[in-house]
Amino acid sequence: MTAPSQSPIYDRVALIGLGLIASSMGHAMKKWGLARSVAGHARTAETRAAALELGFCDEVFETAAEAAKGADLVVLAVPVGNMGALAEEIAPVLKPGATVTDVGSVKQAVIEAVAPHIPNGVNFIPGHPLAGTEHSGPRSGFATLFANRWVLLIPGEAAPDAVAKLRAYWEAMGAFVEEMDAAHHDLVLAVTSHTPHLIAYTMVGVADHLRRVTESEVIKYSAAGFRDFTRIAASDPTMWRDVFLTNREATLDILGRFTEELFMLQRAIRMGDGDMLHDYFTRTRAIRRGIIEAGQDTAAPDFGRSVTGAGE
């Protein structure tokens, strides 16, 4: 794990949206002293109260503008479809020299929605932490969520010192940081996250509609493969609706390629081509081994996360 920070990286950080990612950021900032104060905003009074109760925010506000006022770093941690309106709301109060970032799973659509509202003198650095669980809400966060996970930043035209500072901030939470352009990000995520989620939703939907298999049987006899699908398919529906609507081109491209691969496997099964299936599964197995060797998962069940991990 990362060592405690010697001094805060930002004086004031505003978290706009207080779900899994933002609450984990808040816990991490408190654990390692990365900010002098943390402000938060959420739509519901219940969520705002939870943030104060759990202690990952020092103060919370009913509006995003109140939370963002005077902040050195503003983090948009809401569904992608809401970011444009929030950027417009906070624009008049953004502090000169401040940095605005986000944690959305899509980048080109976020840039199109948010960038027009960012005033001159404020750095906009879109970001995406590749970390999460199937849980959501302010009580789901934990400080070590980002440890040994990747965070992708889209520097654009932001000042180099602002990019370096945001990189140091994520690294202090234990993350690895990489920079890339928005279009490449969206294609990579269509392969590694968006399409797998769509397939998981589809497989669970198939089980739901297959009346020859009862609901009790699906639950009682779920093998590891189906359990893994259900974990992914339990993700926040609003967030994933927005992801597919805003990254449709890359997702449809990868879905087309997936369909071609599926047809190839169908033919091999129909023709009894065991050699082809064995070679195919051998190649794909190597990718899984590479993920483990890269430290992005372990060979343990439950995606390498212990039952107690979410409570850290």
| The pLDDT value given to residue 304 | 42
CATH fold group of domain 184-311: 6-phosphogluconate dehydrogenase C-terminal fold (1.10.3660)
> Is the per-residue pLDDT at 213 higher than 80?
no
Average pLDDT over residues 243-268: 82
pLDDT at 1: 47
Band of pLDDT at residue 190, cut at 50, 70 and 90: confident
Res 308 pLDDT > 50: no
Give pLDDT, residue 256: 82
pLDDT band with cut points at 50, 70 and 90 for residue 310: very low
Task: Flag the least confident range among 40-54, 145-159, 207-221, 294-308.
Answer: 294-308
Architecture of the 10-180 domain = 3-Layer(aba) Sandwich (3.40)
Q: Which two tokens stand for residue 52?
A: 């104060």
Task: Compute the radius of gyration of the chain from its Cα atoms.
Answer: 21
pLDDT tens digits along 41-99: 999 999 999 999 999 999 999 999 999 999 999 999 998 889 999 999 999 999 999 99
Is residue 126 pLDDT above 70, yes or no?
A: yes
More confident residue, 112 or 209: 112
Delimit the domains of the chain by residue range: 10-180, 184-311
pLDDT digits (tens, 9 = 90+) for 133-188: 778 899 999 999 999 999 999 999 999 999 999 999 999 999 999 999 999 998 88
Query: Do 10-180 and 184-311 agree at the fold level?
Result: no
